[in-house]
Structure 1
Amino acid sequence: MPDTALTRAHVAAMVDHTLLKPEATSTDVRGLVDEARDLGVYAICVSPSMLPVRAEGVLVATVVGFPSGKHHSLIKGAEARLAVDQGAREIDMVIDVGAAVSGDYNAVLADILTVREAIGFDPVLKVILESAALSDDAIVEVCRAAEQAGADFVKTSTGFHPSGGASEHAVKLMAGTVGGRLGVKASGGIRTAEAAVAMIEAGATRLGLSGTRAVLDGLPR
């Protein structure tokens, strides 16, 4: 058990309980909702094709442009708008990672703005950087673009990129850049209580977990 003052309930309230596997079925999603209620998590996050989801008492999030980000901005905007119309209250969008790698931060800004404008300012918008594929300078610039575009969170990873998922270094850099003005979601490869606590201590204000129960079971009640 990690040496921490964070309790199971405290961490659960920061978790997006996530199911984004391509083979996920509607039965799997119903199980996700039931488990989310049992665990007391903040939200569930599912693929947009699984919407609408009957999840009374559980906030529903979904992903846009997932997992590559290589979708036209107008497609991302339309996908996000449809998801909101189908009950999603939070949107996790993937940027065009290649634009960030090449230093075209105006394109990144325009991409995020398109989604923000498509859904309005009521739904929460999280911007997925794919931080393991970016330099530190690129991480900082994308965070600045996300803030300028009106995003609510910056998020480390999809969990599907071969470069890896969340890291304490990336979370610290992101948190330092947005300075508490935006939330920071750590996601991708967080499988233990120790890893979850490390991300929170680095500055994460939300966690994306697929193995949520195993993580929470390692925390004090």
Structure 2
Amino acid sequence: MAQISRRDVAEMIDHTLLSPDATPADVAALVDEARQLGVYAICVSPSMLPVRAPGLVVATVAGFPSGKHHSLVKGAEARLAVEQGAAEVDMVIDVGAARAGDYNAVLADIIAVREAVGDRAVLKVIIESAALTDEAIVEVCRAAERAGADFVKTSTGFHPAGGASAHAVKLMADTVGGRLGVKASGGIRSAAQAAELITAGATRLGLSRSREVLEGFPS
């Protein structure tokens, strides 16, 4: 951890609030805390948009958290979010299609969202890595790259199989080879975990406990 500064980590963080019972006051508090911490972005549910957050990137989600939405619905949700000010969209794939080995369906799903937002937003693809085999992780990452995604992302944080792991992050990073970013999210609660994931190849972190994590890094 000594090689990674608090500021470096802060600039990788999407400070996240995706709780289904979040209120506008909670989002306002998230924005205030994000400014205090110096993080890169905030990530909120699409129903909370638009959000006034000068100086911060605003991210949201599509098809969240199950991914079991029709691709056209995901696309419409993403398009509306961008029209309401989101600069980044984290979409959830159909994890069942990936588990079944139907990578063409995964590809088509991602393409639908990519085409819906065009080049107006950064597109991150949530693959639920804890629910997939290594082979499926690799194939889904390849599909995301072919579809024009900007990032692959480990987890929603809501799947019972778990969240981010260093093993999955390394596999994802090795597959995309620096051509896409790699976002680690889900269950990251300490600086030690964050450092392990960054060392494995994460270029962005999705955190709801950003302050807690950052306090473990040297200033």
Instruction: Give the TM bin, normalised by the shorter chain.
Output: over 0.9
1:148 Cα deviation from its structure 2 partner: 0.1
For the Cα contact (< 8 Å) 2:51–2:85, is it kept in 1?
Answer: yes
Residue number among 138, 142, 151 corresponding to 2:149 in the alignment: 151
Aligned-residue identity in percent: 76
Residue number among 182, 186, 189 corresponding to 2:187 in the alignment: 189
Please give the secondary structure, in 1, of the residue aligned with 2:198: helix
- For residue 88 of structure 2, what is the amino acid of its counterpart? E
User: What is the CA–CA distance in structure 1 between the aligned matches of 2:106 and 2:204, rounded to whole Å?
Assistant: 23
User: What is the CA–CA distance in structure 1 between the aligned matches of 2:134 and 2:3, rounded to whole Å?
Assistant: 30
User: What is the CA–CA distance in structure 2 between the aligned matches of 1:166 and 1:190, rounded to whole Å?
Assistant: 7
Please give the secondary structure, in 2, of the residue aligned with 1:219: coil
Q: Which residue of 2 aligns with 1:32?
A: 30
For the Cα contact (< 8 Å) 2:60–2:90, is it kept in 1?
Answer: yes
Q: How does 1:63-82 map to 2 (within 5 A)?
A: 63-82=61-80
Unaligned runs of 5+ in 1: none
Tell me the TM-score normalized by structure 2. 0.99
- For these two proteins, the number of residue pairs brought into alignment is 219
Please give the secondary structure, in 2, of the residue aligned with 1:200: helix
For the Cα contact (< 8 Å) 2:152–2:172, is it kept in 1?
Answer: yes
Q: Which residue of 1 aligns with 2:95?
A: 97
Unaligned runs of 5+ in 2: none
Structure 1 stretches (4+) deviating beyond 2 angstroms?
none
Q: Which residue of 2 aligns with 1:217?
A: 215
For the Cα contact (< 8 Å) 2:82–2:120, is it kept in 1?
Answer: no
User: What is the CA–CA distance in structure 2 between the aligned matches of 1:27 and 1:59, rounded to whole Å?
Assistant: 19
Please give the secondary structure, in 1, of the residue aligned with 2:184: strand
User: What is the CA–CA distance in structure 2 between the aligned matches of 1:41 and 1:47, rounded to whole Å?
Assistant: 18
1:18-59 C-alpha deviation (Å, 9 max, x unpaired):
000011000000000000000000000000000000111111
1:43-89 C-alpha deviation (Å, 9 max, x unpaired):
00000000000111111000000000000000000000000000000
- Give me the CA root mean square deviation: 0.5
1:122 Cα deviation from its structure 2 partner: 2.9
